[in-house]
Structure 1
Amino acid sequence: MGLLVFMRNLLLALCLFLVLGFLYYSAWKLHLLRWEDSNSVVLSFDSVGHTIGSGRRERKTVAIVLPLSIPSHLAADPGKDRAQKEPTETMAAPGPAIPKYDKLGFLLNLDSKLPPELASKYANFSEGMCKPGYASALMTVIFPKFSKPAPMFLDDSFRKWARIRDFVPPFGIKGQDNLIKAILSATKDYRLTPALDSLSCRRCIIVGNGGVLANKSLGLKIDDYDVVVRLNSAPVKGFEKDVGGKTTLRITYPEGAIQKMEQYEKDSLFVLAGFKWQDFKWLKYIVYKEKVSASDGFWKSVATRVPREPHEIRILNPYFIQEAAFSFIGLPFNNGLMGRGNIPTLGSVAITMALHNCDEVAVAGFGYDMSSPNAPLHYYENIKMSAIKESWTHNIQREKEFLRKLVKARVITDLTSGI
């Protein structure tokens, strides 16, 4: 009995000794840790060398204890590089800047310098030499959604073109199948001239009607282009010194077409840009030389005759109107219907067509200088700039922004510097 009491007391004494020993050790360890905290900083680095934060310890990090006090042999020499005195974070090498785009998809930071790959590609082309694929290559740089293939004119496969068949005019051909089929069955030609189609590289210029063309003597330079596009009823005869005498295409619509037969050039293609269903009906009358009612749904009088044979007449692909309006300029979609301020000007439509079908694109006679109210509005008449009124169908300011992007990025060349 006495032995059992002795053993119990011995065990109690041992337990008490162990408890006291543990408390003493814990107090010493706690004091040590507190000393470390007061004399050092713990910086944590992740697996690629980036600082996470002071005192934080996370998975897959290495904690490095650095003394706060600077060794005397470093502190004594202020001329030493600071990198030898203080710890520095390991920084990842900066990668290439990520391009930024506006809400339409255009590059925000446009550069007039060619991208290195294009500068190398076209380095050996001298002034005036046609550079294959130049305009579309630059357009793709500033607008990556751009896709070059798009026929210039409608042909007999037009019903298969998904981009336009579900839109009514001016953005498509819905509801116009029979009229278009009748026109194309008579014209039987859906391309440029054989000589132009055979060119391996095409230089095109869109000649606008702006007064900025006056007294510039650009006629010879304009005529040097392979394809010269003129718009509506802008005259050539008598203005050759400034606007040239060559016309490859004349793009128009019924209300804009030349009404005096003697003002037509001899050998250009007549191209309809159809903005409403009446425009296709009018062209059918012209092709078949039928009687045209001058007030048949038009907002002004129209030409009742065009001095062209059917094989000299084309229908512009309405996709260019659609793309210019919604993709390039950002006009209101309006459920795909013509509405206030959502129709691009014919000039922007023609430029859009050229981006898809020409290797190089230039413009002349574009831009209105509203700060000069007494400047001529058009190169061929005395109407002043102050005569411009707000357009119901066009948004001139947005178009100007689009065209300036093209000029700044050198996608197109502005010979008259009016944009």
Structure 2
Amino acid sequence: MFFRQRNLKLFSLLLILLAITSFLVNYNQNAGSYTWSPDKYFTRFSDRFRRFMTFSRRICNCDTCVAESEISPWFDERFNQSIPALLTKQNNMIPESVYRWWLRLQSERNPKNINKTIQDLFEIIPSDVDLMDHSPYRCRSCAVVGNSGNLKNSEYGAEIDDHDFILRMNHAPTTKYEADVGRKTTHHFVYPESVRDLQENVTMVLIPFKTLDLQWIVSALTNGTINFAWESSRGSLSERNGSRIDAIRESILIYSPEFMKYIYDKWLLNHGRYPSTGLFSVIFALHVCDKVDIYGFGADSKGNWHHYWENNPSAGAFRKTGVHDGDFEGGKLTHAMICLVRTGKIGQVMTS
């Protein structure tokens, strides 16, 4: 009862303040020849109040906001804002069903205790960044830049660099390719096998597929005792070049296994063993950004799958493997992007 009365008082005070403001504005604009016009006064007051209430309900300050609901039933069926995208010191619990699914991704044998591993991890990495902090005063624009060969000669570089966040994945070189892919990177999505030293002001987003990956990042930032990683093509551990990485600990984020399973279930419809880094990056952007543009996904104009830095147009990596089905995932991703564009969730899509 107390809170209801307090809210009523606050609402009444707001109405009074808006009425006084509208009256003064009306008076100043008509100084010297002021006449009382009730219809004009209440129309102006109603319009101001409606704009205020509309703004207070917005979750961002863009023309359209990715996370807004009740715009597309198709999107609302898949999008779940309650699932955290990152594993953090505050959000460090992995549900049992998620943990069992996660362990099967690379058939890890005799994993170290996950709770102890996570405890060790966050003694090294602060990981207190909250990227899902939507605000009606902010319009965070993001470019997700894939590695497709269809970026060659695209000249999207300047347009990509104009975004607030620029997400890249795995190797993704920019030197010598700036005109097509841009110069800037804010977030780099990697597996342990694809990690490299970070450039200044770049945040690493590590996608872990097993307990060993979390142990490895601790080792790579401290004593470097773990110098091996999983090689999916061989189905075994192999020695990794370099046991330590040059990175600022505050610039390392850990992708949540729970978020990985959510993407697998809702967006990939349980197809394949797990999604690619590209799909992980796209769905991540939908959750942390207000406006999203996609570049460099899918096959080239001839239907070939290759990277923009390679001179190998007939490459068919991940086309028909059990890990990533390029044709299926590319088709699903393309369909998803079309739906997202039609519903205003994504501003534009630069794919084949």
Q: Scaled by the length of structure 1, what TM-score is found? A: 0.58
Aligned positions of 1:117-196 closer than 5 A: 130-131=62-63, 133-137=65-69, 140-145=72-77, 146-160=79-93, 162=95, 166-169=99-102, 175-191=113-129
Paired letter, 2:314: M
Q: Secondary structure of the residue that 1:229 maps to in structure 2?
A: strand
> Quick check: 1:204–1:358 contact (8 Å CA) kept in 2?
yes
Aligned to 1:402: 332
- Cα deviation for residue 407 of structure 1 reads 2.1
* 8 A Cα contact 1:294 1:303, kept in partner: no
Of 265, 287, 293 in structure 2, the residue corresponding to residue 326 of structure 1 is: 265
Please, what is the CA RMSD of the aligned residues? 3.4
Distance 2:256 2:273 in 1: 18
For the pair 1:348 / 2:294, whether they are aligned, the reply is no
Residue in 2 that maps onto 1:79: none
Letter in structure 2 aligned against 1:308: A
User: What SS does structure 2 have at the residue aligned with 1:363?
Assistant: strand
1:377 counterpart residue number? 306
State whether structure 2 residue 296 is matched by structure 1 residue 362.
Answer: no
Say if 2:200 is the partner of 1:228. Answer: no
Q: What count of residue pairs does the alignment treat as equivalent?
A: 278
- The alpha-carbon deviation at position 414 of structure 1 amounts to 4.7
Q: Distance in 1 between matches of 2:93 and 2:316?
A: 44
Conservation of the 8 A alpha-carbon contact between 2:66 and 2:286: no
1:390 aligns with 2:327: no
What secondary structure sits across from 1:298 in the alignment?
Answer: strand
Task: Say if 2:112 and 2:211, in contact at 8 Å, map to a contact too.
Answer: no
Structure-1 residue corresponding to 2:217: 283
* 1: CA distance, partners of 2:71 / 2:189: 23
Distance 2:192 2:127 in 1: 21
Tell me which amino acid in the other structure corresponds to 1:343: Y
Which residue type is aligned with residue 240 of structure 2? S
State which of 245, 266, 281 in structure 1 corresponds to 2:200: 266
Aligned ranges for residues 197-216 of structure 1 at < 5 Å? 200-216=138-154
Between structure 1 and structure 2, the one with the greater Rg is 1
- Corresponding residue number in structure 1 for 2:108: none
Residue 210 of structure 1 deviates from its aligned partner by: 0.7
**Normalising to structure 2: TM-score of the pair?**
0.68
Q: Offset of 1:138 from its aligned partner?
A: 7.5
Q: Is the 8 A contact 1:213 1:243 kept in 2?
A: yes
Percent of pairs with identical residues: 25
Query: C-alpha displacement at 1:167, in angstroms?
Result: 3.6
Please report how far the alpha carbon of residue 304 of structure 1 lies from its aligned counterpart in structure 2 after TM superposition: 2.2
